[in-house]
A = this chain, B = another copy of it.
Amino acid sequence: MLGLDPDPSALWPDAETDADRQGSAAQRAGRAVLRHCAAVIDATATACVAVKLQLARFELLGAPGWEALNAVAEHAHERGLFVIADGKRGDIDVSARAYAAGLFAGAETPFGRIDGLGADLVTVNPLMGIDALEPFVATAREAGAGVLVLVRTSNPGAADLEDLRVDGGGAVWERIAAIVARLGAERVGEAGLSDVGAVVGATEPAHLVRARELMGGAVFLLPGVGAQGGRVEDLAPAFAPGRAGGLITASRSIVGAYLKGDNVAGSAHPGAMALAEAERLREAAWALSAQEPPSVSATPSVR
């Protein structure tokens, strides 16, 4: 799965044309980011099932960034890809509903209907508890979409709070996993997968087996492959429920493939190199998901 995390200073070479050099810096950057993202999508769509849009990069550009975000999501949908809005939002009920409406299907207002981003999946932050997650889950269900709850993230600092051991056994992240399993059990699809998934970093494979025990029916979003050091080969437990059980996301390793190794001068076409890297990751993941799944219990043991 393609992660789009567009850094205005590291876009593909043709992201801005001469005719585009007008308007404010944010407007120019917004157009260039859109062109860049569309080119990466076009180059790799055959090897991906989804794009993950890092909202921070778009938000940095203000209103033009938000326009670019909408256009990138629309372009990805036109290419047959799912759209994951990676915003990690989390807030009290009324605010969570506003975030969810904006990222999924929009909202009716006295001024008319306001379109949402139309995301298929949205990452959410569970720190504030179940009542902060429920509006996202409910809004996703109305839109036929899903949520991905941060359970055990891929950054080194994840250990500071997520790994704290809790009275009664387990870590904080295992309590979050139990919440995910409980919310997800309310709706399970034909493939045995629920519409409440989990973000489980690919950088700590030791957690994956336990995570799959706690969340048997959750789709796992697996960030951290590539630039953050995670290896596809370590991710087998994520695919225990089948090929759709894991979404391996790689951003910089695909988009920046043309700058690596024997192509340091960047002479090869970025698109061809990106496609090759995306296909390599896909094949590695599919090889894993074709293996005999490990034995897994789908019964959460806490809460």
Contacts and interface: CB of A to CB of B under 8 A. Distances in A.
List the 9 closest A-B pairs by CB distance, nearest first: A129-B157, A25-B112, A131-B157, A129-B160, A56-B98, A8-B109, A165-B167, A60-B102, A28-B111
Contacts of A263: none
B167 A114 contact: no
A175 B228 CA distance: 26
Contact of A130 (B59, B62, B129, B160): B160
Contacts of A28: 111-112
Nearest to A128: B153
Interface of A: 5, 7-9, 16, 24-26, 28-29, 32, 54, 56-57, 59-67, 70, 88-96, 98-99, 101-102, 107, 109-115, 125-133, 150, 153-162, 164-167, 172, 175-176, 179, 228
Given A62-B70, A126-B161, A131-B157, 18 more contacts: A25-B114, A28-B112, A29-B111, A32-B111, A56-B89, A56-B98, A56-B99, A59-B99, A60-B101, A63-B63, A88-B91, A129-B156, A131-B156, A160-B175, A161-B176, A164-B166, A166-B166, A172-B172
A55 to B, nearest CB: 8
A67 B63 contact: yes
B26 A114 contact: yes
Contacts of A127: 125-127, 150, 153, 161-162
B9 A110 contact: yes
A65 B107 CA distance: 14
Contact of A102 (B56, B98, B150): B56
Nearest to A160: B129
Nearest to A163: B129
A116 to B, nearest CB: 8
Given A63-B66, A113-B25, A98 B150 contact: no
A170 to B, nearest CB: 10
Given A60-B107, A101-B60, A155-B132, A5 B161 contact: no
Contacts of A61: 102, 114
A150 B70 CA distance: 29
15 contacts: A25-B109, A26-B115, A28-B112, A29-B109, A29-B114, A56-B98, A56-B99, A62-B114, A66-B66, A93-B155, A126-B161, A129-B156, A129-B162, A161-B172, A164-B172
Contacts of A92: 153-155, 228
A120 B60 CA distance: 17
Contacts of A7: 94
Nearest to A129: B157
A164 B64 CA distance: 41
